[in-house]
Copies of this chain bind each other. A is one copy, B any other.
Amino acid sequence: MRNIKLVIQYDGTNFAGWQRQKDGVRTVQGVLEDALSLACRQEVKVEGSSRTDAGVHAFGLCASMLLPDDGIPTDKIPKATNDILAFDKLEGIGDIKIVSATEMPEGFHARHSAKGKRYIYRIYNCEEKSPFRRSQFYQVAKPLDLERMRKACEYIKGTHDFKCFETSSNSPRETTVRTIFELDVLKNAVSDKAFQYTVVVEGDGFLYNMVRIIVGTLVEIGLGKMEPENVKAIIESKDRGNAGHTAPPQGLYLDEVFY
């Protein structure tokens, strides 16, 4: 058997998230498995590195799958599958794309083998909202203060119990301690009235909604509703109620998974 790692991009707008659900619900895993099964001429199941929510995007989600040694060569899988994904028939409208397929050693698993992930969160900061950015940005109308947001990042980086940044869920986890390797906010001018803020965050793992709650907290700090210095106490409180709001899904992109 071949153990194949796929790197996948998708625009999450028209998906009810990654995880396959009952028939009739359009999910990334569902559409991808159907297309792969057609391309590989046999039923294919994939394991994803992450279960992104509805509306969340990916530049580089990873998935692993097992395939017999005979059949379609590994390097032909992306194009063969992408051709199917761009057809309307399968409800494939070109919003998922396989970037690469690589054979991995036995035992590699997209989720269990992951050592870390990088997410990107994009904010469009402009008094005027744009219909063209609604699916790919969090549109914030009032001005954000970059320096305040950056200062807050310093309190979040490192190894902490991040219970305050988790939406309570029944998802199994042994601990709510995680390590954030990197967290920064970049600002680019789109015009003289509009700015794009890009939050980049790398960590060894993330709790449910953790990136979106970190971003919601950074936005409230950027708007002057919370103080950067309070972040330390918020984390120590381990109380979700003390952190900021959960930023909406459409600004979030799973950028890369590290192995």
Contact = CB atoms under 8 A, between A and B. Distances in A.
Contacts of A136: 132
Interface in A92-141: 93-97, 129-132, 134, 136
Contacts of A129: 86, 94, 97
A11 B13 CA distance: 14
Max chain B Cβ within 10 angstroms of own Cβ: one of A57, A96, A129, A132: A132
Contacts of A97: 129-131
A9 interface: yes
A165 interface: no
Contact of A11 (B10, B94, B131): B131
A10 B129 CA distance: 12
A77 to B, nearest CB: 16
B11 A96 contact: no
Contacts of A95: 131, 134
A130 B93 contact: no
B94 A9 contact: no
Contacts of A57: 132
Contacts of A130: 9, 97
B131 A96 contact: yes
For this chain, the copies found in one complex come to 2
Interface in A8-47: 9-11
A10 B95 CA distance: 20
Nearest to A132: B11
Nearest to A9: B131
Nearest to A93: B134
A94 B131 contact: yes
Contacts of A134: 11, 93-95
Nearest to A97: B131
Interface of A: 9-11, 57, 86, 93-97, 129-132, 134, 136
Given A57-B132, A95-B134, 8 more contacts: A11-B132, A86-B129, A94-B129, A94-B134, A95-B131, A96-B131, A97-B131, A132-B136
20 contacts: A9-B130, A9-B131, A9-B132, A10-B131, A11-B131, A11-B132, A11-B134, A57-B132, A86-B129, A93-B134, A94-B129, A94-B131, A94-B134, A95-B131, A95-B134, A96-B131, A97-B129, A97-B130, A97-B131, A132-B136
